[in-house]
Amino acid sequence: MTGLLDIGDLGGSGIDTVIVAGVDMYGRLFGKRMPVRSFQRIVDEGLHVCTCVYAWDVDQDMDTLKVDFAGAHTGWHDFRLVPDVATLRRAAWLEGTAICLADSVDEDSGEPLPVAPRTILRRQVQGLRDQQLTAFTATELEFHLYRGTPDELRRTGYRNLDPTTLARSDYAIGAGNAMEPFFRVVRNALEASGIPVEVAQAEYGLGQWEINLEYADAIETADRHVLFKSAVADLARAHGMTATFMPRPLSDGMGSSCHIHASVRGDDGSTPFYDTDADRTASALLRHAVAGVLDRATDLMLFYAPTVNSMRRIISNDFAGNGLTWGFDNRTTTCRLITGGPSANRLEMRLPGADVNPYLASAAVLGSMRDGMSRQIDPGPPCTGDGYAESHGELPVTLGDAADHLDQSLFAATTFDKEVTTHYAAVARHEWLQFLRAVSDWDRDRYFETI
């Protein structure tokens, strides 16, 4: 694939800097830069990093967030990043730079860190591999793009935001043409970095855009996802703009989603989600997978909605689905089935917003699919009309509730390990308490004079 590199090619490739990066709990890249000559040693020995990256909150507060994995009680010990050389590629949006994603392993044993997102997804992928199935996924990621750099917007408290489109422009070619000088740079940089783009478009919300990447095996898709976000954010900054992946940056705006498409193929090349004799070619196995995703959605809501802001999109009518609903090509349902050909049949999980960690959300989808297929459960009749027409209250609507469901779920503890679910639930409860303690503009506008 164009953009991917062999270690031996670095010397003559115009690359002088290599970034070795892991992925934190929020789907963000962390790591270190080095000259090319140092990279081979890091490949052999690994890169030492403090465990704080898996023990602080989204704002890097490590004083009030308390988890068993790391902290003062462990001496803030190290772990190692071990480069996955198969991911080495140009970071074409940065001058003379390559990037290599890495797995997080224990400093002493060398075993994968259970709480690391790449570890969590890899175990679900392996669970399907044990059944002679390979998981393929794609993430459809939306984002808002505002004029002004992140520093400039931070100084104004993110008030009076200036969106890059001022009218609804969903699918509009004209709006896309106006921003094409920027998005052409983005697409070309992604392609040159081994992150192949399928399509791009202007979206419905003011300043909202969508770029879809080609599907791949589940880990490669998640890797591309986090690199894509980094590239878009970096290029936006370089062009005097800010990209935000908040699911709902404004109360009266459209939410940004991250729909996850998932399918499986057999080791023999078979397409077990396709059956010519079934309704709309959706095989019994595909229906079982859908049933599993819906049946476990409440337990795994935290992996689909990891922030307070996530819920603001989900409780709206922003095409995030409604409760435990599914249907054929129905965008008002939580789980949409797309059918029509052996390699095309797949499910689309519509709950996640643009803030998801793609490793965790994909692991949730795959683990639930595997559970549904194993139990051979049925999703019930499909929704054939407006999925929002009826009230469905099955899913958590607060971050605190989502944390409790994950922490109390026997299925989640068995599928992802109790250490993992306890850790992520603790992080989410901390975030929820931070929110509850904060007095906002909404509080003052609502209550200052009226109470």
Predicted confidence pLDDT, tens digits, the chain (451 residues): 578 999 988 978 899 999 999 999 999 999 999 999 999 999 999 999 999 999 999 999 988 899 999 999 999 999 999 999 999 999 999 999 999 999 999 999 999 999 999 999 999 999 999 999 999 999 999 999 999 999 999 999 999 999 999 999 999 999 999 999 999 999 999 999 999 999 999 999 999 999 999 999 999 999 999 999 999 999 999 999 999 999 999 999 999 999 999 999 999 999 999 999 999 999 999 999 999 999 999 999 999 999 999 999 998 877 888 899 999 999 999 999 999 889 999 999 999 999 999 999 999 999 999 999 999 999 999 999 999 887 677 899 999 999 999 999 999 999 999 999 999 999 999 999 999 999 999 999 999 999 9
Directed axis angle between helix 218-238 and helix 358-375, to 10°? 160
- Report strand pairing: 29-35 vs 133-147: unpaired
According to DSSP H, which parts of 4-109 are helical? 36-45
pLDDT digits (tens, 9 = 90+) for 236-252: 999 999 999 999 999 99
CB–CB of 248/236 below 8 Å? no
**Helices (H), ranges, 78-149:** 117-129
How much is the pLDDT for 322? 84
How far is CA 313 from each of CA 95, 109, 321, 323, 353, rounded to the nearest angstrom? 36, 42, 10, 13, 7
DSSP one-letter code for 9: G
Measure Cα distances from 337 to 152, 184, 397 in Å.
Answer: 42, 32, 24
Amino acid at 73: H
**What is the C-alpha to C-alpha distance for residues 352 and 332, in angstroms, rounded to an integer?**
14
Burial of 174 (C-beta count, 10 Å sphere; 0-12/13-18/19+): exposed
Other C-beta atoms closer than 10 Å to the C-beta of 102 total 26
Q: Which residues make Cβ contacts (< 8 Å) with residue 116, sequence separation at least 6?
A: 22, 23, 54, 103, 104
Q: Pull the structure tokens for residue 50.
A: 């403090």
Q: Which of 336, 437, 415 is nearest to 371 (CA)?
A: 415
Q: What's the 3-state SS for 189-203? A: HHHHCCCCEEEEEEC
d(CA 36, CA 138): 32
